[in-house]
Amino acid sequence: MYRDIDEKEIVRLATEGKNVNEISKTLNYSKHVVVYRLNKLGISLDYYKSPFQKNFSSGEALTEIEKANIESMAIGDGCLEKTGKDSARLKIAHSIKQKDYLLWKYSLISKCVSKYPYESDVKLNDKVYGTIRFSTASLPDIKKSYDIFYPNNKKILPESIVSNITKLRLLIWFLDDGSAGIDNSRGNRRVSQWVISSESFTEEENEMAKFYLLKNLNINAHIKKMSRNGKGFTNLGFSKSSGLYETLIDITPPYMTYKLTGVKAITSEA
C-alpha cells in the first residue's frame, strides 16, 4: 500500500520546518506513515510544532535519537566542546553556501539548541567568508558523548559509535567530509569514486570503520593510503560498485546530492 511513499519529499518538507501534521496534509499521507518514515531516518518531529521552534528545557534529558544524531555530527564537522566539569555542547558551523544543509542538521536536534542558527562573517588571510552556525545547550548527556570522543583530550573514532553506524549516521559523515572523484578523461565528465576525508583518524580506526560499513550496511569501503608534504595518512575510498551511492542517494537532501553526483545544482546563491 505504501510502496510509492516519497521519502525525499517528506525529508524536504521536514527540513523546511513543516511539522508532522503539515507534512501529512501536504502529501496526503497518514500521520502514522510520516512519523514511521522519519523515524527510520532518525528524524524526530512534533505533530503540531515546527522543528524550528525553540522548545527545549535545560532539565530535559536527550532522547536516544537526539543523542545518536549529536554523535553522528561529531564524527565529521561537528565540534564537541567541554563547558564544565559535567557539561559539554555541540557546535556546528558551515559556509553560508551550505545554509540549507545546516538548517537540516538543526532540524534533527533543534530541541536541545538554545538559539536559532545565526549568520556571521569570518576573516581568514585577509578575506571575509560568510558562515552560519549554531550550538546546543551545555548538557550532561553531551558531556558523556564528549568523554567518548575525547578520552585523552584528542579526538578518536570510537568503536561504540561506528559499530552502530546507520544510513543517517553515514549520510551526515559523508555530507560533512565526503566528495565525489571526477574522471574527465575522454572528454566525458563522470564520477569514478567517492572519498571520505577521514585522515584525522588513525589507520586502525579507518579499518574499523571499513569493517562496520560492510557489516551494518553492506558497503565495501577500501583504505586509501595517501601522503602530503612527506607525511602519510589514510582516507576511506568507495568504488562505484561499493554500494555507497545506492545506500545514500534516496535519503540525501536535494541540495546536497552534488556530493554524490559531482554536479552542483544552480541556485540563486550560486
What pLDDT does 53 receive? Answer: 40
Q: In this structure, is residue 270 part of a structural domain?
A: no
Are 73 and 126 in the same domain? yes
- The HSE-up count of residue 97 (CA atoms within 13 Å, CB side) is 8
Are 184 and 206 in the same domain? yes
Are 110 and 28 in the same domain? no
Q: In this structure, is residue 135 part of a structural domain?
A: yes
How far, CA to CA in Å, does 70 sit from each of 23, 84, 110, 177? 24, 18, 11, 16
Are 115 and 75 in the same domain? yes
Are 183 and 223 in the same domain? yes
How far, CA to CA in Å, does 264 sit from each of 160, 186, 257? 34, 21, 8
Per-residue pLDDT of the chain (270 residues; tens, 9 = 90+): 445 777 778 877 776 667 788 888 888 888 888 888 777 766 666 554 444 344 455 556 788 999 999 999 999 999 999 998 888 999 999 999 999 999 999 999 988 887 788 888 887 788 888 899 999 988 999 999 999 999 998 999 999 999 999 999 999 999 999 999 877 776 677 788 999 999 999 999 999 999 999 999 999 999 988 777 777 788 999 999 999 999 999 999 999 999 998 876 444 333
Distance CA 139, CA 107 (A): 18
Are 187 and 140 in the same domain? no
Are 175 and 254 in the same domain? yes
Q: In this structure, is residue 79 part of a structural domain?
A: yes
Residue 103's DSSP bridge partners are: none
Q: In this structure, is residue 156 part of a structural domain?
A: no
Are 243 and 177 in the same domain? yes
Q: In this structure, is residue 171 part of a structural domain?
A: yes
C-alpha cell recorded at residue 8:
525525499
71 in the Ramachandran plot: left (φ > 0), alpha (ψ -120 to 50) or beta? alpha
User: Which of 100, 88, 136, 143 shows the shortest CA–CA distance to 256?
Assistant: 100
Domain of residue 11, CATH code: 1.10.10
Are 171 and 254 in the same domain? yes
Element of type H or E holding 119: strand 118-124
Domain of residue 256, CATH code: 3.10.28.10
Q: In this structure, is residue 155 part of a structural domain?
A: no
Are 73 and 134 in the same domain? yes
pTM of the full structure: 0.75
What pLDDT does 184 receive? Answer: 72
Structural domain total, the chain: 3
Are 172 and 254 in the same domain? yes
Are 145 and 211 in the same domain? no
Provide the residue range defining the domain that includes 106: 64-150
